Amino acid sequence: QVQLVESGGDSVQAGGSLKLSCAVSGDTSGNICMGWFRQVPGNDREWVSAISSVSPPTYADSVKGRFTSSLDNATNTLYLQMNDLKLEDTAAYYCAAEVGARYTCMRRRRPAYFTVWGQGTRVSVSS
């Protein structure tokens, strides 16, 4: 059974940077699509990025050029490097996984397309 544990959330000033991590455990056989989502209380969970070992990362327009997702297959860790953070980036960030979906990863941009979720890590951006 695949499990995900996020870390790295913190409070930061606007313009600053943070790097989130998501440790993946369990048997994925390398065939997995990984995603980042974020959620503000009262809002739907918002897709941020998706990546697999065979697909380049894709990004929501709101973070494109500022966020970089990467997947370290050797350590089974997903990262989200967030630069030039803005007030509107404040949210709980979740990593998600769908086993068996590495070739369809670029199309997975909704929470319903992922079945495994981490517990979330909070990012707070202040002025």
**Mean pLDDT to the nearest integer, 29-39:** 93
29 has pLDDT over 90: no
Rounded CA Rg of the chain: 13
What is the tens place of the pLDDT at every residue in 50-102?
999 999 999 999 999 999 999 998 899 999 999 999 999 999 999 999 999 99
The two tokens of residue 29 are 């056989």
Residue 80: per-residue pLDDT: 98
Model confidence at 46, in pLDDT bands (50, 70, 90)?
Answer: very high
3-class SS string, 64-120: CCCEEEEEECCCCEEEEEECCCCHHHCEEEEEEEEECCHHHHHHCCCHHHCCEECCC
Residue 30: per-residue pLDDT: 82
Cα 117 to Cα 6: distance, rounded to the nearest angstrom = 10
